[in-house]
Amino acid sequence: MMPLSAFKRENQSAHSLPIKRNKVTRVIYLDNAATTALSLAAIQAMTKTMTVFGNPSSTHSHGREASKLLRQAREDIAQALHTQSNKILFTSGGTESNNTTIKGYAFRHQNRGKHIVTTAIEHHAVLEVVEYLVDKFGFEATFVQPVDGQIRAEDIEKALRPDTILVSVMAVNNETGAILPIKEIGELLQEHPAAFHVDAVQAIGKLPIYPDELRIDFLSASAHKFHGPKGVGFLYAKKMDFDNFMHGGDQEEKHRAGTENLISITGMAAALSDSTEHLEVNLEHAQDLKDSLLADLSDIDFYLNESKPSLPYVINLGFPNQKNDLLLLQMDLNGFSISTGSACTAGAIQPSHVLQAMYGKDSNRLHESIRISTSDQTTLQEIQSFTKKLKEILGG
């Protein structure tokens, strides 16, 4: 084997040539509905927990130390939701929480009925789960359509049947920012035995959502949407009334097998506590950013894809006769990360099922619209830089 010193000498000439380096340009991130950067609170909590390597299920001192952190994280999340810690179940994220609720509740209660009500604008982590139950297990589903871009509580009520066992509705749409009438739906379901599941992935940490007050039975959340780490989330359950999705050990009071991801869980709890503490000022900041963006674009031709009320963190807009895939690429090449708000498969941007439900499958909006999504870390200067470059590209 050649000594390292000899290898370096032999290859020195190859490395002595001047290397041309591209100038590093700071990329402005405006895709926070997809994921958010870790908050300082999350980083600090996770860094501290990295020194705690015990298994929370172990009874020795190392395990008890880990278990204490796990209990505290559960308490912190429960406090942010104004509920009790025994109603919080740790998962790997929103997708697992949705699967656990919809499949688990449907399987346990199929003797009472096999009808599920949801909406046409849900995330795929709900739509595909419901479709799976319909295709493979004989369930039936009603997909409530939006009216003027919004889901109405009265249409949810009309969709209910005596054999409806579950209603699953998102709190905030991830593509348009539409805020759905969760309070009204929770109230009307008091007169019906169906359970109420809310996919709150885009809402938790941004809006005050307290499941006990809103009469929610199950609520899904994902840490990376509110400046926590990826790969961790939680499920609020008024009662742990579902068949287990994960089987194996006795973790999470025997409701979700698998050693808990303690580092990420403590980061999630810290991120949620921080977001909740600054919720109002952050919401006001997001509204200011949205107002600025729309004002800056007032002298060019565009339209908004939204309904009232809407969350200011998510802005979906389109430009007539401008292909969104090309615009996305041009903005990326110029240092701006945005999205179309739709799924991307094998590099091909697929038309948004949300916009299709709102405007029809033949609408030009499906191919002209982009999504800009901000966070409390987004600055006014970044928005101004974005609108300036966007208008340059559009020729405005």
Question: Residues near 20 by Cβ (< 8 Å), separated by ≥ 6?
Answer: none
Q: Has 278 been annotated as catalytic?
A: no
- Of 337, 389, 395, 284, nearest in space to 28 by CA: 337
Question: Which H, E and C letters describe 173-184, residue by residue?
Answer: CCCCCEECCHHH
Q: What is the DSSP string of 71-94?
A: HHHHHHHHHHTTS-GGGEEEESSH
List of E strands, 109-231: 115-119, 140-144, 164-170, 195-199, 218-222
Give the whole-angstrom CA distance, residue 370 versus residue 341: 7
Give the whole-angstrom CA distance, residue 94 versus residue 99: 9
Which of these is catalytic: 40, 50, 147, 344? 344
- 374 — alpha (psi -120 to 50), left (phi > 0) or beta? beta
SS3 call for 207? strand
- 60 — alpha (psi -120 to 50), left (phi > 0) or beta? beta
Termini Cα distance of the chain: 63
Give the residue numbers marked as catalytic. Answer: 344
